[in-house]
């Protein structure tokens, strides 16, 4: 007997608990084949009139056979995509402890604001005179970002953190070239604990990268930076709080050392959500820092298009900010500067990074978040993010090992795999077993400076009850791992529709294209 996927059903073959169902579904967890596997060329959800006879001008370019697109009726189409959407694990379905990624609640008020037709229907090619409200909103967002970071300028157009890194580093490059040092200052320092995008960005922009060693306590020491400084150093890219969830204690000294050596300080601001309202990067000596609006200001990751990764700039870098940008005329009128030639005196934009000014929906959501929280609310969000991470740390640190126990955690807590030694269970196995318990795993094997890293970031969105359940679940798993229940881990997940994948094969030989299966051979 064949099930919906055309595969032989095993119904009746196994014990009640493990018996496969006729359909392959597990209760409401429905298997969803690819649309190519369930669609038919001849099916369509719409009734289109046959076109009137016409003379084709395509000649030999005219298609000879069927295009082969799968067709479904309207209800089948709805079901297919709704079922696919239900396979997502998201912040709206459960605690999402991915460290460094900051999966916090996307407030519905922000969504409502972004859907106001005056914002959602704006077209980037609309005449400038018809969108003054949108520009005012962008200026207001820029004002908030500059106030919160203590920086005098911001470029709004980058589309994400990594794109913001590129923007900040291009501004640094332009500033170095303007000083006539372009040929000699071509090395960027990147700590070993950095996110992979940092060295990649520096290399993409044409710098060579030198690693700054990580101290045994997970931080960067000013002496190690000073030892690498010279006339060839263009900048350092340093994350603060760093990727181990620790506030860099010597950040001010590091910034001063960079400036003294004629170099710049790029701060990776991915973890700004830990310090909003508590510390201003401008006061720490930062020259450029991207802000992932989807992390710190709760815009959705993805969110119907590209995101937004504005970059705040110091006075030294502000003149090099890319076009387009909004210029406020002396009489208060707003003017959108689109080209280098139009830029007001003193501005030397390094170029343009994006076709248009940015992702309006993200700007609206981020500003709605800021206005609805107020300054006290944003400060409390940072405090609660730190409190929640430390609550998890306190709830687990008797069972799981902390690589840097002497530093308090900021918004995320980092464990290593020391505590798993001798159990036969790896960090990956532990993460997979979390899926069986209904949790998306934490970030694993990052940062690389820690063996078998497990980086947990609960964010401020989680209630005490939700944190307690998470801690209790991880405690249960940890005790199982220590109690020799290897099977719970090494072949996990057991309850997910798809079990353990060969991740190496998936990475090395990805199947990116659906191939039509060969027709089944007739039964003998
Ligand atoms: C420390 C750090 N830097 C940079 C990035 C890149 O940001 P994005 O994913 O927005 O490009 C991330 C993303 O997770 C990050 O955690």
Using a pLDDT cut of 90, give the percent of the chain over it: 79
SS3 of residue 509 by DSSP: coil
pLDDT at 521: 73
Over range 141-151, report the average pLDDT: 98
* 100 pocket-lining for ligand 1 (C-beta < 6 Å): yes
Tokens 């005098």 sit at which residue? 152
Among 97, 100, 289, 442, name the best residue to mutate to test ligand 1's pocket (greatest count of ligand atoms within 8 A of Cβ). Answer: 100
Encoded tokens for 67: 């295009």
Q: How confident is the model at residue 264 (pLDDT cuts 50, 70, 90)?
A: very high
For residue 101, give the ligand 1 atom closest to its CA. 14
Host H or E run for residue 35: helix 35-38
Residue having the nearest C-alpha atom to atom 13 of ligand 1? 101
Distance (Å) from CA 195 to ligand 1 centroid: 7
| Model confidence at 144: pLDDT above 80 | yes
Distance (Å) from CA 248 to ligand 1 centroid: 18
Q: Which spans in 128-179 are helix H? A: 132-149, 161-178
Q: How would you label 440-451 residue by residue, b for 16+ Cβ within 10 Å and e otherwise?
A: bbbbbbbbebbe
Residue having the nearest C-alpha atom to atom 15 of ligand 1? 270
Distance (Å) from CA 416 to ligand 1 centroid: 21
Most confident by average pLDDT, 3-17, 85-99, 365-379, 499-513:
365-379
Distance (Å) from CA 305 to ligand 1 centroid: 17
Q: Whole-model pTM?
A: 0.90
pLDDT at 309: 95
Over range 354-382, report the average pLDDT: 95
Summarised one tens digit per residue, pLDDT across range 194-245 is 999 999 999 999 999 999 999 999 999 999 999 999 999 999 999 999 999 9
pLDDT averaged over every residue in the chain: 92
Among 101, 197, 447, name the best residue to mutate to test ligand 1's pocket (greatest count of ligand atoms within 8 A of Cβ). Answer: 197
Tokens 């996927």 sit at which residue? 5
Give the span between the Cα atoms of 335 and 325, in whole angstroms.
Answer: 8
pLDDT at 518: 83
Q: Output DSSP code: residue 250.
A: T
* 243 pocket-lining for ligand 1 (C-beta < 6 Å): yes
Residue having the nearest C-alpha atom to atom 10 of ligand 1? 161
pLDDT at 20: 82
pLDDT at 16: 53
| Model confidence at 159: pLDDT above 60 | yes
Summarised one tens digit per residue, pLDDT across range 310-335 is 999 999 999 999 999 999 988 888 88
pLDDT at 297: 97
Over range 252-263, report the average pLDDT: 98
Q: How would you label 109-131 residue by residue, b for 16+ Cβ within 10 Å and e otherwise?
A: ebbebbeeeebeeeeeeeeeeeb
- Helical pair 161-178 and 197-204, crossing angle rounded to 10 deg: 40
Query: Residue 334 in contact with residue 326, Cβ under 8 Å?
Result: yes
For residue 295, give the ligand 1 atom closest to its CA. 10
Encoded tokens for 330: 């002396």
Q: How confident is the model at residue 178 (pLDDT cuts 50, 70, 90)?
A: very high
Summarised one tens digit per residue, pLDDT across range 402-427 is 999 999 999 999 999 999 999 999 99
Over range 479-507, report the average pLDDT: 93
* 298 pocket-lining for ligand 1 (C-beta < 6 Å): no
Among 270, 294, 444, 459, name the best residue to mutate to test ligand 1's pocket (greatest count of ligand atoms within 8 A of Cβ). Answer: 270
* 161 pocket-lining for ligand 1 (C-beta < 6 Å): yes
Across the beta sheet with 288-290, the strand order is 153-155, 311-313, 288-290, 264-268, 233-239, 187-191, 208-212
Encoded tokens for 40: 């038919």
The span from the first CA to the last CA of the chain, in angstroms, equals 17
pLDDT at 11: 43
Summarised one tens digit per residue, pLDDT across range 49-97 is 888 999 999 999 999 988 888 899 999 999 999 999 888 899 999 999 9
Report residue 333 CA to chain centroid gap. Answer: 36
Query: Residue 392 in contact with residue 456, Cβ under 8 Å?
Result: yes
Over range 275-280, report the average pLDDT: 98
* 292 pocket-lining for ligand 1 (C-beta < 6 Å): yes
310 contact partners, CB below 8 Å, separation of at least 6 = 141, 142, 145, 154, 155, 156, 158, 164, 290, 291, 293
For residue 239, give the ligand 1 atom closest to its CA. 1
Distance (Å) from CA 295 to ligand 1 centroid: 9
* 239 pocket-lining for ligand 1 (C-beta < 6 Å): yes
Distance (Å) from CA 198 to ligand 1 centroid: 9
pLDDT at 522: 64
Query: Residue 189 in contact with residue 235, Cβ under 8 Å?
Result: yes
Q: How confident is the model at residue 10 (pLDDT cuts 50, 70, 90)?
A: very low
pLDDT at 189: 98
Distance (Å) from CA 197 to ligand 1 centroid: 7
Encoded tokens for 369: 């978040």
Distance (Å) from CA 114 to ligand 1 centroid: 24
Distance (Å) from CA 175 to ligand 1 centroid: 24
């Amino acid at each position: 007997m064949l099930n919906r996927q055309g595969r032989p059903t095993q119904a009746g073959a196994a014990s009640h608990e493990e018996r496969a169902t006729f359909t392959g579904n597990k209760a409401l967890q429905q298997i969803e084949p690819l649309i190519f596997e369930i669609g038919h060329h001849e099916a369509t959800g719409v009734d289109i009139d046959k076109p009137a006879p016409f003379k084709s001008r395509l000649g030999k370019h005219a298609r000879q056979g069927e295009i082969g697109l799968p067709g479904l009726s309207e209800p089948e189409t709805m079901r297919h995509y709704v079922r696919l959407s239900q396979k997502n694990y998201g912040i709206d379905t459960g605690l999402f402890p991915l460290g460094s990624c900051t999966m916090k609640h996307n407030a519905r008020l922000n969504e409502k604001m972004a859907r106001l037709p005056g914002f959602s229907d704006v077209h980037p090619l609309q005449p400038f005179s018809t969108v003054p409200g949108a520009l005012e909103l962008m200026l207001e967002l820029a004002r908030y970002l500059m106030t919160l970071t203590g920086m005098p300028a911001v470029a709004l157009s980058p589309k994400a953190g990594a794109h913001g890194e590129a923007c900040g580093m291009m501004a640094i490059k332009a500033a170095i070239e303007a000083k006539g040092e372009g040929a000699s200052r071509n090395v960027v320092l990147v700590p070993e604990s950095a996110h992979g995008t940092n060295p990649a960005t520096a290399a993409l922009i044409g710098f060579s990268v030198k690693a700054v060693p990580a101290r045994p306590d997970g931080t960067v020491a000013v002496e190690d930076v000073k030892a690498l400084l010279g006339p060839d150093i263009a900048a350092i890219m340093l994350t603060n709080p760093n990727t181990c969830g620790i506030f860099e204690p010597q950040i001010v000294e590091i910034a001063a050392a960079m400036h003294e050596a004629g170099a710049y300080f790029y701060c990776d601001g991915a973890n700004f959500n830990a310090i909003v309202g508590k510390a201003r990067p401008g006061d720490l000596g930062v020259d450029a820092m991207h802000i992932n609006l989807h992390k710190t200001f709760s815009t959705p990751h993805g969110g119907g298009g590209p995101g937004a990764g504005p970059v705040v700039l110091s006075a030294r870098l502000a003149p090099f900010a890319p076009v387009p940008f909004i210029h406020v005329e002396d009489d208060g009128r707003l003017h959108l500067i689109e080209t280098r030639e139009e830029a007001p005196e003193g501005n030397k934009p390094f170029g343009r990074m994006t076709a248009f000014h940015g992702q309006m929906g993200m700007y609206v959501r981020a500003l709605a978040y800021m206005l609805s929280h107020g300054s006290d609310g944003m400060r409390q969000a940072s405090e609660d993010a730190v409190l929640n991470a430390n609550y998890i740390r306190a709830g687990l640190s008797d069972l799981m090992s902390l690589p840097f126990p002497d530093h308090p955690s900021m918004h995320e807590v980092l464990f290593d795999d020391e505590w798993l030694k001798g159990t036969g269970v790896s960090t990956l196995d532990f993460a997979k077993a979390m899926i069986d318990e209904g949790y998306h795993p934490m970030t694993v094997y990052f940062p690389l400076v820690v063996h078998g890293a497990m980086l947990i970031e609960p964010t401020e969105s989680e209630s005490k009850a939700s944190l307690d359940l998470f801690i209790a679940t991880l405690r249960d798993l940890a005790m199982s791992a220590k109690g020799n229940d290897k099977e719970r881990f090494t072949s996990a997940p057991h309850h997910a529709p798809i079990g353990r994948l060969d991740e190496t094969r998936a990475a090395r030989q990805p199947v990116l294209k659906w191939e039509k299966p060969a027709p089944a051979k007739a039964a003998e």
